[in-house]
Amino acid sequence: MVNRSDVHYFGAGPAPLPTHVLEEAAKVLLNFKDKGIGICEISHRSPEANAILADTKQALATLLDIPDDYDILFLQSGGSGEFSAVVYNLVSIWVEKKRAQIAQEVGDDNDEVLKRLRKAVDEELKLDYLVTGSWSLKASQEAARLVGAKHVNVAVDARKSNDGRFGTIPDESTWTLTSREKGGPAFVYFCDNETVDGVEFPQFPKSLVGEDAPWVCADMSSNFISRKVDVRKYAVIFGGAQKNIGNTGIAIVILRKSLLPPVAQYASPDLLRQLNLPVGPIVLDYPTIAKNNSLYNTLPIFDVWVAGQVMASLVDSYGAKRIGGQEEISNDKARLIYDTLDKYPDVYRVVPDKSVRSRMNICFRVHGGDADKEKQFLADAERRGLTGLKGHRSVGGIRASNYNAVSLDGASKLVTFLNDYARGA
């Protein structure tokens, strides 16, 4: 029998979880707080479930120093569901804001308001996407499917400057963001860390800063709680839990409360239908989820509990450093692995440009991508207890996912193997 301690798992998701959390999870699955029933059996509306929600929110707010004017939501959509949710919600706000402006100009002539609003939607509605990898590409495609390609402005497609492949983030001076002089986009969307392609934004884009900055939505599924984040720069941050935070089953959304009623008003479903715009499902409706404390429908409380335990352990471990403590370790592990790969350019080639290398998903090729040699590399690694290193099926190669639950010891053992393999290659 293989012991858990003998294996270091580098899979990209579902990703490894801290062993102490899993050990406690095994207990509460059978008997939660001495109630004689498991955590998966308690009511999602019980006091215990509400306490789990509150504790998990507090742990995340503490880690990331989330301001009081932001809300935290839990949904069952996964990250891909949020590709749609940000469109449904923020387009609805944009439409209602535009309708109110027009109504103020023309008064109570509803036919004229609708006529001008249709024209505004047709000519002005734009959603800006920074496409730097496979997941932001999927998000932009979903937006085009929902509202039509004419409304989706791909402000940057990183493949165009890299021989048709992802692996860079072009200079901001080349981005074609929707002009703020013309009202700007409904939002700007980017994926902070591209799991498939190993590309991570080294910092928040400078062109998205300023008093008149557009609403920024970021997918942080694969680098959530791995480094400091200035939450105030974002309108919406979301992530699937199954990378750094917990197990598959929930998405976590951090959003400005000003995007919720009564501050923000949403277009009515009838108006959206008149404009040929989509009406989103209620389980992705941010006002509904927020109003019901994420309990509009049956929330998987066990998944929230796991996420809460992971985050609470980080709070306990790093104290005043908060997420900065985890950031230091994440950076150290990534540096160890990249430095080793760079030592052997004849054997290893890191896929993304050095300026945008992901700390979370380290993508590289062995012997120029020779299929047989990469297969042998994976087999040799597995014999040493280093598993989950196969690259995404769409790009191949090797991928070492360096999530929080990968220990420094695990990263060091991977480095030892990389050295041994290169010397014997």
What is the tens place of the pLDDT at every residue in 145-195? 999 999 999 999 999 999 999 999 999 999 999 998 878 999 999 999 999
Residues 364 and 288 reside in one and the same domain: no
Instruction: Tell which residue, 162, 160, 157, 161, has the closest CA to residue 133.
Output: 157
Query: Among residues of the chain, what percentage have pLDDT more than 90?
Result: 95
CATH label of the domain that carries residue 299: 3.40.640.10
Within 31-158, residue ranges assigned H as helices are 47-64, 78-106, 110-124, 134-147
CA pair distance 357, 168, nearest whole angstrom: 9
pLDDT surpassing 90 at residue 77: no
Shared domain check, 190 and 264: yes
Q: What is the pLDDT of residue 75?
A: 96
Q: Cα–Cα distance between 172 and 135 in angstroms, integer?
A: 20
- Residue range 35-74, pLDDT digits in tens: 999 999 999 999 999 999 999 999 999 999 999 999 999 9
| Residue (of 113, 106, 79, 118) closest to 236 by Cα position | 79
CB 59 within 8 A of CB 308: yes
pLDDT bin (cut points 50, 70, 90) of residue 108 is confident
Confidence (pLDDT) at 169: 98
Let me know whether 286 and 354 are in one domain.
no
Q: In terms of domains, do 287 and 173 share one?
A: yes
Per-residue pLDDT at 425 = 62
Is residue 86 located within the same domain as residue 235?
A: yes
Measured CA distances, 417 to 94, 116, 354 (Å): 53, 65, 22
Same domain, 101 and 137: yes
pLDDT digit string (tens) for 249-273?
999 999 999 999 999 999 999 999 9
Q: Give the model's pLDDT for residue 181.
A: 81
- 104 in any annotated domain: yes
Expressed as residue numbers, the domain containing 337 is 322-424
pLDDT tens, residue by residue, 4-29: 989 999 999 899 999 999 999 999 99
- For 349, the enclosing helix (H) or strand (E) is strand 348-350
- Judge if 91 and 227 occupy the same domain: yes
What secondary structure does DSSP assign to 358-410, as a single string? -SSEEEEEEGGG-HHHHHHHHHHHHHTTEE--BPPTTT-SEEEE--TTS-HHH
Indicate whether 62 belongs to any domain: yes
DSSP-assigned beta bridge partners for residue 386:
8
**Residue that terminates a domain, selected from 274, 303, 332:** 303
Closest by CA to 60, choosing from 254, 223, 222, is 254
Phi then psi for residue 410, to 5 deg, are -65, -45
Q: Note whether 158 and 267 are same-domain residues.
A: yes
Q: Are residues 181 and 297 in the same domain?
A: yes
- Could you give the number of structural domains in the chain? 2
One domain for residues 285 and 351: no
Query: Is residue 244 in a domain?
Result: yes
Together in a domain, 259 and 406: no
- Clarify whether residues 155 and 219 are in a common domain: yes
Q: Within a domain: residue 49? A: no
The pLDDT tens digits of the residues spanning 197-244 come to 999 999 999 999 988 899 999 999 999 999 999 999 999 999 999 999
Q: Could you tell me the CATH number of the domain that includes residue 416?
A: 3.90.1150.10
Cα–Cα distance for residue pair 228/354, rounded to 1 Å: 21
- Residue pair 172/206 in contact (Cβ under 8 Å)? The answer is yes
Residue 98: its pLDDT value, please?
A: 96
Q: Is 13 contained in some domain?
A: no
Pairing mode, strands 187-191 and 216-219:
parallel
Place of tokens 């390609």: 149
Whether 1 shows a pLDDT value over 80: the answer reads no
pLDDT of residue 183: 82
Can you give the pLDDT at residue 271? 98
Question: Would residue 15 count as lying in a domain?
Answer: no
339-369 tens-digit pLDDT: 999 999 999 999 999 999 999 999 999 999 9
Rounded to two decimals, the pTM is 0.97
Residue 2 has pLDDT above 90, yes or no: no
